[in-house]
Amino acid sequence: MKEQGVQVRVRGQVQGVGFRPFIWQLAHARGLRGHVLNDPEGVLVRVAGGIGDLAAAIRAEAPPLARVDAVEVTAFTFDAPPEGFEIVASRGAGAETRVTPDAATCPACLEEIRGAGRRRGYAFTNCTHCGPRFTILKGLPYDRAKTTMAPFVMCPDCGAEYRDPADRRFHAQPIACPTCGPRLWYEEGGGEVQGDAIALAAARLRAGGIVAVKGLGGFHLACDAANAGAVAALRARKRRPAKPFALMAREADLPAIVEVSDAATAALRDASAPVVLMPARGTLPEAVAPGIDSLGVMLPYTPLHHLLLDAFDGVLVMTSGNLSGEPQVIGNAEAREKLAGFADGFLMHDREIARRLDDSVVRAEPPMVLRRARGQVPGTLPLPPGFEDAPPVVAYGGQMKAAICLVKNGQALLGHHLGELDEALTWEAFERADADYAVLFDHHPQVVATDLHPDFRATRHGQARAAAEGLRCVAVQHHHAHLAACLGENLWPREGGKVVGIILDGLGLGPDGTVWGGEILLGDYAGYERRVWLDPAPLIGGDRAQIEPWRNALVRLDAAGLSDWADALFPDAPRDLARQAAAKGINAPLSSSVGRLFDAVAACLGICPTRQSYEGEAAMRLEALARRSGRAGAPKLGFGAPAPRGGALAPAALLRELRAAQLGGADPGALALAFHRWVAEAFAAPARALVEAGEARAVALSGGVFQNALLHDLTCAALAGLPVLTHRRVPANDGGLALGQALVAAAQSESA
């Protein structure tokens, strides 16, 4: 006998987050009859009769890790009347729903590992509200058999929890306990050391040692952050002279090392547990972050990390475990082989890591994502209005900070940070990610999007795939992609009108064959015009100009009539050869890069003039110098921002003013601050003019230079009163490039 009822389709991040038991509890509380199940499109609820306020409750009371995109209610007919309300088995294969990112340990599990129950001190405790997800996933649907927990057979106690809809571990696929789950141990000297693994590792750390720690997405190298000798040893062993180290600390230990704000606390406590950049108090050794006025700190995000921090009772350096330039190590054998020269001991376990994920990095003030990785991926982003019928697109990003983006069914999946594609192992990781995401998300593109640069490995890969599969391939100019990424993140409508993009970064090939990097673009998703740009200068030595700031300073000072100052600043540099190369255009492409202008000014002020030991070092130190000057109340200097001439903004007058102020005894920090203000005002003024003239409706800020919080804030201040679009969830750097490429390709495909 048939019975009429209602079907409720829930779309979004609704699998692997305790959604079915949540529905079960709602239904039982309301006396409803029917069932709930997972399928490729999300969660499906069928109820006999009426549903009352069920749909509203689903939206309002969803589990902590859930993200509900849509709740669709339609009629449904039961073949036979249901007697009660049940959770039934998953149906179908495919990936219309999201896969849940890894999530930091929840309060209930944290209480358990510190309590007296059977999971006391157990490093792999988790439930449906926390624990590993994407890093252990091998296939869909998200069931234990398709994760790296498959080898661990549940004991009767865990099995009872797993089958009980009223338990928070109902269908928690990584469920485990000391009886049946992964095992933790400590190694030194090539063998396992008997005893409590956490206590042994903590003892080695307290003694000034370096320990390789196996986490969620890979190995870290840990040492005592307060021990200058240990930090120096780690730097020497990793051959990492200056790049800041990330830290891990308990929340109670933070006020002693950083300035804590409500915004930073909220970012730290997020389920993604990112590294958060926070102002340093100067209480840790300078070697933790040389020349930088902020520290990157994360809270312990797995039970293993909580137990280790409790046992160590202090702050740890927690930096990626890898050889220089290579991706993070994820396998036990690989760690023993590659990290033996760095680590005095290894804190190991036997749960396999299915995919490598670096720690995400964010800034809380102003809010921005600098590296999108563990805890944030594979979360999806909604496409802006007007892209509902966008074709499936795969976009391959750029050469640096590589990330892949898939567009499907009104959502964009921006993949995890992969790194620099010149590195062989990173390229292998890129190829694997491409295949991995396609399978996990059942993605079959109709369009491929790439960067305009023909020599990028990602570009060649995309072109080859498009040719092999007969797909349309769209080459997207680098800075147009940055603009589109910012528009897309802010859900700017497809037909929302033109926007002014202030796009400042390091390098991106322009259609004129020069290297762009300091542009004002007027455009939308489908196209753009380049209205204003930084006056180009040669990049002497090509890629070497990104590493050696003196090269950028030399050409800018020469152009400003300050060659004598350049000679005095860089007496040992091969200046004559460099000037000849610039004059003849030999391996010296023209570039409007604001990133290289930052390097030039930093070198003029004595910051990393000869060589940068990591990307962005000179600019980061220059920002720190400027910020310290502002806090110290140094006299404010102002350098006149130029009006564009023929579209070009010339920095020659700026450099002459900087030199005159320096000769007049100006504080270096005040000079650095004045330079930041000059960049902000030089680009903000023409952007404002375009909006006020009615040619654009808003201003968008994008490109890696806008990771500089001081410049970001000064530019927003210079644009006060105008609608300003900024990045918050998508990196302003090349990590967000693929999203912009995908949106441009979709827009151009629709208009083709």
- Model confidence pLDDT, tens digit, residues 22-52: 999 999 999 999 999 988 788 999 999 888 9
* pLDDT value for 1: 78
Phi, psi of 342 (to 5 degrees): -105, -40
Tell me: pLDDT of 599 over 70.
yes
360 three-state secondary structure: coil
Phi, psi of 328 (to 5 degrees): -60, 140
Q: Quick one: 358 and 395 in the same domain?
A: no
Do residues 395 and 402 lie in contact, with contact meaning Cβ atoms separated by under 8 Å? no
Alpha carbon 239 to chain centroid distance?
Answer: 24
- Of 362, 393, 414, which residue constitutes the final position of a domain? 362
Q: Quick one: 306 and 351 in the same domain?
A: yes
Whether residue 38 lies in the annotated active site? yes
Lowest pLDDT segment from 95-99, 321-325, 381-385: 95-99
Mean pLDDT of 234-239: 94
Tell me: pLDDT of 525 over 50.
yes
Do residues 741 and 450 lie in contact, with contact meaning Cβ atoms separated by under 8 Å? yes
Q: Which of 9, 11, 30, 38 is catalytic?
A: 38
Mean pLDDT of 66-76: 91
393 three-state secondary structure: strand
Q: Quick one: 353 and 390 in the same domain?
A: no
Tell me: pLDDT of 92 over 70.
no
Q: Are strands 3-13 and 246-248 parallel, antiparallel or unpaired?
A: unpaired
- Asked whether residue 193 is assigned to any structural domain, the reply reads yes
* pLDDT value for 139: 79
Q: Are strands 42-48 and 34-39 parallel, antiparallel or unpaired?
A: antiparallel
- The larger pLDDT score, comparing residue 171 to residue 499, is at 499
- Amino acid identity of residue 623, one-letter, is E
- How confident is residue 98, by pLDDT bands cut at 50, 70 and 90? low
- How confident is residue 67, by pLDDT bands cut at 50, 70 and 90? confident
Calpha distance 14→42 (Å, rounded): 6
Q: Quick one: 459 and 342 in the same domain?
A: no
Helix %, strand %, coil % for the chain, to 5?
Answer: 35, 20, 45
- Asked whether residue 352 is assigned to any structural domain, the reply reads yes
CATH of the domain at 556: 3.30.420.40
Q: Which residues contact residue 694 at a Cβ distance below 8 angstroms, ignoring those fewer than 6 apart? A: none
Angle at 598 between CA 611 and CA 514, to 5 degrees: 95
CATH of the domain at 220: 3.90.870.40
Q: Quick one: 30 and 70 in the same domain?
A: yes
Burial-class residue 636 by CB neighbours within 10 Å (0-12, 13-18, 19+).
Answer: exposed
Which stretches of 283-415 are assigned E, i.e. beta strand? 294-298, 316-320, 345-349, 361-364, 367-371, 380-382, 393-395, 405-408, 411-414
* pLDDT value for 94: 52
- Model confidence pLDDT, tens digit, residues 695-705: 999 999 999 99
240 three-state secondary structure: coil
Q: State the residue range of the domain holding 411.
A: 378-490+731-751
Calpha distance 553→428 (Å, rounded): 37
What is the pLDDT of the chain when averaged over all its residues? 94
Beta bridge partners of 359: 374
% of the chain at pLDDT higher than 90: 86
Rg of the chain in Å (alpha carbons): 27
Residue with structure tokens 């549940």?
154
Spatial CA neighbour of 216 closest among 57, 359, 91, 418: 359
The Cβ of residue 435 has, within 10 Å, a number of other Cβ atoms equal to 9
Residue with structure tokens 């399928």?
39
Tell me: pLDDT of 90 over 80.
no
- Of 53, 87, 121, which residue constitutes the final position of a domain? 87
Q: Are strands 590-591 and 537-538 parallel, antiparallel or unpaired?
A: antiparallel
* pLDDT value for 752: 45
Do residues 257 and 247 lie in contact, with contact meaning Cβ atoms separated by under 8 Å? yes
Q: Quick one: 320 and 463 in the same domain?
A: no
Q: Quick one: 336 and 272 in the same domain?
A: yes
Indicate left, alpha or beta for 566 from its phi (over 0: left) and psi (-120 to 50: alpha). alpha
Calpha distance 49→30 (Å, rounded): 12
* Residue 252 DSSP code: G
* pLDDT value for 629: 83
% of the chain at pLDDT higher than 70: 98
Q: Quick one: 568 and 637 in the same domain?
A: yes
CATH of the domain at 472: 3.30.420.360
Spatial CA neighbour of 637 closest among 677, 603, 600: 677
- Asked whether residue 369 is assigned to any structural domain, the reply reads no
For 490, the token pair is 């802010």
Q: Which of 11, 20, 133, 531 is catalytic?
A: 20
Distance between start and end Cα atoms, the chain: 53
Residue with structure tokens 């080898």?
151
- Model confidence pLDDT, tens digit, residues 316-348: 999 999 987 788 999 999 999 999 999 999 999
Calpha distance 565→563 (Å, rounded): 5
Q: Are strands 724-725 and 699-702 parallel, antiparallel or unpaired?
A: parallel
Indicate left, alpha or beta for 592 from its phi (over 0: left) and psi (-120 to 50: alpha). alpha
Phi, psi of 37 (to 5 degrees): -150, 160
Q: Quick one: 287 and 222 in the same domain?
A: yes
Tell me: pLDDT of 632 over 80.
no
Q: Quick one: 327 and 238 in the same domain?
A: yes
Tell me: pLDDT of 367 over 90.
yes
Q: Quick one: 388 and 356 in the same domain?
A: no
Residue with structure tokens 């990290």?
339
Q: Quick one: 701 and 568 in the same domain?
A: yes
Alpha carbon 588 to chain centroid distance?
Answer: 32
- Asked whether residue 106 is assigned to any structural domain, the reply reads no
- Asked whether residue 104 is assigned to any structural domain, the reply reads no
- Asked whether residue 531 is assigned to any structural domain, the reply reads no
Tell me: pLDDT of 247 over 70.
yes
Say how many domains are in the chain.
4
- Asked whether residue 714 is assigned to any structural domain, the reply reads yes
- Asked whether residue 148 is assigned to any structural domain, the reply reads no
**Three-state secondary structure of 678-719:** HHHHHHHHHHHHHHHCCCCCCEEEECHHHHCHHHHHHHHHHC
- How confident is residue 440, by pLDDT bands cut at 50, 70 and 90? confident
Lowest pLDDT segment from 66-75, 152-161, 706-715: 66-75
Alpha carbon 434 to chain centroid distance?
Answer: 18
CATH of the domain at 47: 3.30.70.100
Residue with structure tokens 């680098």?
478
Whether residue 372 lies in the annotated active site? no
